[in-house]
Structure 1
Amino acid sequence: MQNLWSHTGRGIAVSALALALTACQSMRGPEPVAQASIPSSYTAAASGTSVAEQGYKDFFADQRLLQVLDMALNNNRDLRTATLNIQRAQQAYQITENNQLPTIGASGGVLRQDQGTALGTHTRYNVGLGITAYELDFWGRVRSLKDNALDNFLATQSSRDATQIALIGQVAQAWLNYSFANANLKLADQTLKTQLESYNLNKKRFDVGIDSELPVRQAQISVETARNDVANYKTQVAQAQNLLNLLVGEQVPSALLPTQRVTHITKTTAIGAGLPSDLLNNRPDIRTAEYRLSAAGANIGAAKARLFPSISLTGNAGYASTDLSDLFKSGSFVWAVGPSIDLPIFDWGTRQANIKISETDQQIALADYEKSIQSAFREVNDALAVRQNIGDRLAAQKRLVDATNTTYKLSNARFRAGIDNYLTVLDAQRTSYAAEQGLLLLEQANLNNQVELYKSLGGGVKANTSDATSQPASSAERKAQ
C-alpha cells in the first residue's frame, strides 16, 4: 500500500508540473503601434552608406585622439556605471528566470512535545528535502515577470551603448575644443605683439611731436583689449583640458594633446547618412526605448494574471522517527505533497487598478519611444543642415580674412606714409582680428559637425568596421514570431 501511495504521489507531482509547463500562457495584450511619422528621406541630401557603419577607429584620423578615446572607454565613470547597471540587470533577470523552477531545500528538526498527563512527553526527529510554495504558472504571471526582466536587461545594454556613443562624441569635441582654444590663444598673442608695435610707434610719434596723444591712447586701447583676450584664451585652454581629463577619467598625457590647430578629424571624405530605416537600427537609444515599451507590455500580462487563482505546490520527503537511532531505518520514510490556491474574491478593485496602471505605463513608454525616434531624426537633420552650408560659409570666411588682411596692410602703409590717420589702421586691425577669429570658429564648427553627424547617426558602438554587433529580440518581438 505504501508503494502504491508513493507512486501515486509522484505521479500527481509530475503531472502537476507538466500541466503547469504546457498550460501557462501570457496574458499580455496586443502590442501598440508607434505613430512616430518616420520620414522617407532626410531634409538634406546625404547619399551613401551610413557613416555609423564605420568603427570609431576607422572614422577618426588622428592616432592621438584614438588613444585618448581608448583611455576614456576604460576609465570614464559614467560608462563604468552603465556597465555595472548591466551586471545588476543581468542578475535581476537571473532571479526571475530561477523563479520558474521549484526551490528545493533541506530541512531537519527536533520537536519535544508534552502530550498530556497520561501520555507524557514525546520527541520527534525529522530530516528531508522539500519544495516550498512552487507557483504553477497557469496564467503566465511568472513568465511575464521574466519577460519584463529580460527586456529591462536588454534596455540596460542598449543604454550602455548609447552612453559610449555620447562619450566618444564628447571626448572628440573636447579634444577639438582644446586645439582651437590654443589656436585662438596664439592668434591673440600674435595680435598683442602687433598692437604693441603700433603702440610703440604712435608713442614715438607723439614724443617727437608728429602726432597728438589721441593715436597713442587709441593704440593703448587695442593693446589692453588684446591682453584681455590672451588671458581669456589661457583660461579657456585650462578649462578645455580640465573637461577632457574629466571625460577621460584621468590626466591626459601632454603628448596626446594637439599642439597645432587640427585641420581634419576623420579619414572619411564623403559622410553618408544612409536610409532613415538605418537610423532605427543604429541608434541604441531608440532600441532602449523599444525594450522599455516591450517591458511595459509584459507588466500588463503579469497584472492581468493576478485576476486569476494562484496555485502553488508544496511537498517534502524524508525520514521521521521518535527515536534518533531509528531515523533512517526501514519504515521511517515519510512524504507529503499538496497544492494551495489563492482565489481573489474582494480586493476593492486593487487588481483592476494595477492593470490600469500597467496600461498607462505602456502608453507612457510608447510616447517615449515615439519621441526618441523623432528626436533622433531631428538631430540628424540638424547636423545635415549645418553640413549642407558649412563649405560655402568657410569659403566666404577665408575670402573675408584675405580681404581684411589686405585692408590692414594698405591702411598701415598709408598711415606710415602720412596719408591717413591712425583711426583707419585701428579699424582695419579690429576687422582683421575678428575675421581671423571667425574663421577659427567656423573651422571648429565644421569638425564638430562631422563628429556630431557620426554620433547622431549612431556611430561609435564598435571599434572596428569589421566588428559584428547584435540586437537581441525583445519579448514582444519573440511573441510576434
Structure 2
Amino acid sequence: MKSPSIQGAKGWPPFTKPGRNASLAMALALLCGCTFSDLKPQSRLLQPSEVNKTLANSGVKLSEASWPADNWWSSFKDPQLDALIVEALTNSPTLRSAAARVHQASALEAIQGAQLLPDVSASMSVTRERFSANGTTPAPAKGTWQNVHQGTLNVGYELDFWGKNRSAVEAAVGRRKALEVDERAAALILSSSIVQTYIALQNVYQQIDVAQALLNQQEQIEELTKKRFVAELGTEIDIRQSQAALPSSRANIAALKESVELNQNKLASLLGKGPDRGRTITRPHLQASDTVVMPSNIPVELIGHRPDVVAQRWRVEASGHEIDVAKARFYPDVNLTAFIGLQSLAFDTFNDHGSRILGIAPAISLPIFEGGRLRGNLDAQDAAYDLAVENYNQTVIDALRDIADQLSSLRWLKERLAQQNEAVATAVAAADLVDKRYGAGLATYLQVLATQNATLVEKRQLVDLQSRALSLQANLSRALGGGYRPEMPMTANANSTVADKS
C-alpha cells in the first residue's frame, strides 16, 4: 500500500488535482497577504495645486510660448558661444560618463526583462560512473563502470502570478529613465557652466576696458602735471603723485589679464580640452535681452520641464515598483521545468528510440518562516519610497525657489541699473569738471585723484550689474529647465499617493 502523501485518491499525484491544490494555493496566498498589510509608505507626492501663486504674481509678463528652447543660449546672439557649447556637448567626459550609466542601466533592464521569458538551454554530457551493486540500477550495469551518454533540451519558466518579475522590470525601466533624464540634467549643468564662465570672461574684458581708460586718463594727467610744473603752476609733489598712480593701475590691468586666462582655462576644461584650446577663445560679444517673459503655466508644468524634477519623479516610479516586488515575495513561487533528450550507456545506442528521456517538474515554494526577512525587506522598500518622494518634493520646492530668486533679482536689477547709470554719468561729469579746473590751476591733484577713483568704482559697478543681467537671463533659462521636454509621461505609480501603495 502506497503512502497517501505520495499517491493521491484514484492514483492521481497530488499536484495533478487542480481543484484541491488551487484552493490550497489561494488559502496560502491570502495567509501570506495578511502578514504585511500593516506596512505601507508614509509620504505623498507634492501636488502643483498646493503651491502658492507667487510666481504668477511676480510682476513679470506671462506668455504661453516662453519656455526656453533647446538651444536657449542662442538668445545671447554670440556665435562663438554657440560653437563652444556644441563642442562641449560632443566631447565632454562628464556627458560620456552619464551616457555610460544609461547604457549600463539599459543592460540591467534587459537582464531583468529576461525573467519574463522561458529559459531554454541544451546540454550534452558523457559521465564515467560506477553503479552500485546494491542500488536501484539493474543488471548488467550494477556493480560496473559505465559511460553514461546524455543530451537534453531543457525548458524552465516561472509563472509570474503575483507580478513580481513584471514589477522588477518596471522598476528597472524607471531607473533607466531617471538616468536618461540625469544625462539631460548634466548637459544643462554643463551648458549653464559654460555660459556663466563666458559671461565672467566678458566681464573681465569690460573691466580691462575701464581700467585701461583710467590708465590713459592718468597718463594724460601726468603729462598735464609736468606742463603745470614747467609753467610754475604746480609742484614736484604733484608730479610724483601723478606718477605713483600709474604702477597701481598697470598692476590692476595685469591682474585682470590673469583672470582672462584663468577663465579661458576653465572654458577649455568644460569643453573637455587642454589649456591650449582656451587660448583660442576670443573676446565675447554677448547681448542681453531687453524683456523677460515667463510661461503662464508655472508651477503646473514645471515638473515636466526641469530635468532634475523629472529624474526624481522616475525614481519615485521605480521605488513604487520595488514595493510591488517586495510584496510579491510573500506569495508562493510557481516554476515549471521540463526536459527532453536521449540517454544511453553505450554510444552506439544513443540515437535509438528506446534511449529517449522526458520529464516535467512543476514546483511551488512558499516562505513559511524566514525570521522576518521579508517584512524587513518590504519595510525597507517602503522607507526607500518615502525617501524618493521626499527627495522629489524637496526638488520641486527648490526648483520653485530657484525661479522665484531669478525673478526677484531681475525685477530689482532693472532699478539698480537705472540708478547705476545715473551714478556713472554724475561721476564722469564731476571728473571732467575737476580735470578742466586742474588744467586751469583751480583744483589740486588730490581732487583729480578722488574723482578718478569715484568714477572707476561706479564704472566697475555698472559693468558688474550688466554682467549680472546676462547671468540672471542664463539662470532663468536654466531654472525653467533649459529647453527640456519629457519624452514620455509617467505611469500611474509615479502619480500615486500613499493610498495607492497600501
Q: Which TM class, normalised by the smaller chain length?
A: 0.7 to 0.9
Matched pairs, number: 454
1:288-318 CA deviation, whole Å, 9 max, x = no partner?
Answer: 1111111111111112222223233322111
1:225 maps to 2:228: no
Shift of 1:207: 7.2
Residue segments in structure 2 that go unaligned for 5+ positions in a row: 1-11, 134-141
Quote the sequence identity (%). 25
SS at match of 2:301: helix
1:452 maps to 2:475: yes
Shift of 1:323: 1.5
TM-score using structure 2 length: 0.82
Conserved in 2, the CA contact under 8 Å of 1:387 and 1:449? yes
Conserved in 2, the CA contact under 8 Å of 1:286 and 1:373? yes
* Candidates 305, 310, 319, aligned match of 1:296: 319
* Candidates 78, 88, 100, aligned match of 2:104: 88
SS at match of 1:99: helix
* Candidates 394, 415, 420, aligned match of 2:417: 394
Partner of 1:377 in structure 2?
400
Q: In the TM superposition, what are the counterparts of 1:252-267 in structure 2 within 5 Å?
A: 257-259=281-283, 261-262=285-286, 264-265=287-288
SS at match of 2:67: helix
Shift of 1:340: 3.0
1:367 maps to 2:390: yes
1:174-214 CA deviation, whole Å, 9 max, x = no partner?
Answer: 22222221121222122222223323443565577643454
SS at match of 1:354: helix
Partner of 1:465 in structure 2?
none
Bigger radius of gyration: 2
Q: In the TM superposition, what are the counterparts of 1:221-370 in structure 2 within 5 Å?
A: 221-250=244-273, 257-259=281-283, 261-262=285-286, 264-265=287-288, 269-276=291-298, 277-370=300-393
Partner of 1:417 in structure 2?
440
SS at match of 1:307: coil
* Candidates 141, 147, 153, aligned match of 1:129: 153
Conserved in 1, the CA contact under 8 Å of 2:316 and 2:494? no
The range that moved more, 410-419 or 115-124, is 115-124
- The one-letter amino acid of 2:46's match is Q
Partner of 2:139 in structure 1?
none
The range that moved more, 142-151 or 36-45, is 36-45
- Distance change (3 Å), C-alpha of 1:55 and 1:265: farther
Shift of 1:89: 1.0
Conserved in 1, the CA contact under 8 Å of 2:42 and 2:386? no
Conserved in 1, the CA contact under 8 Å of 2:78 and 2:284? no
The RMSD of aligned alpha carbons is 3.1
1:72 maps to 2:88: yes
1:205-225 CA deviation, whole Å, 9 max, x = no partner?
Answer: 557764345434443443233
User: Distance between the aligned counterparts of 1:178 and 1:198, measured in 2?
Assistant: 30
Partner of 1:162 in structure 2?
185
1:44 maps to 2:58: yes
The range that moved more, 239-248 or 166-175, is 166-175
* Candidates 107, 113, 128, aligned match of 2:123: 107
Partner of 1:470 in structure 2?
487
Partner of 1:35 in structure 2?
46
- Distance change (3 Å), C-alpha of 1:32 and 1:315: farther
Q: In the TM superposition, what are the counterparts of 1:204-219 in structure 2 within 5 Å?
A: 205=228, 210-219=233-242
Shift of 1:261: 4.8
- Distance change (3 Å), C-alpha of 1:295 and 1:177: same
Conserved in 1, the CA contact under 8 Å of 2:179 and 2:311? yes
Conserved in 1, the CA contact under 8 Å of 2:423 and 2:458? yes
Shift of 1:461: 3.4
1:320-363 CA deviation, whole Å, 9 max, x = no partner?
Answer: 11121221221222111113333322222122111111111111
- The one-letter amino acid of 1:189's match is Q
* Candidates 165, 168, 177, aligned match of 1:145: 168
Partner of 2:6 in structure 1?
none
TM-score using structure 1 length: 0.85
Partner of 2:456 in structure 1?
433
1:68-110 CA deviation, whole Å, 9 max, x = no partner?
Answer: 1111110112112111111111111111111111221110111
- The one-letter amino acid of 2:51's match is I
User: Distance between the aligned counterparts of 1:122 and 1:109, measured in 2?
Assistant: 13
Partner of 2:428 in structure 1?
405
- The one-letter amino acid of 2:295's match is A
User: Distance between the aligned counterparts of 1:257 and 1:108, measured in 2?
Assistant: 66
User: Distance between the aligned counterparts of 1:92 and 1:165, measured in 2?
Assistant: 26
- Distance change (3 Å), C-alpha of 1:257 and 1:123: closer
Partner of 1:179 in structure 2?
202
- The one-letter amino acid of 1:423's match is L
- Distance change (3 Å), C-alpha of 1:50 and 1:240: farther
Shift of 1:274: 2.9
Conserved in 2, the CA contact under 8 Å of 1:147 and 1:475? no
User: Distance between the aligned counterparts of 2:331 and 2:277, measured in 1?
Assistant: 64
User: Distance between the aligned counterparts of 1:394 and 1:102, measured in 2?
Assistant: 70
Shift of 1:405: 0.9
Residue segments in structure 1 that go unaligned for 5+ positions in a row: 1-7, 463-468
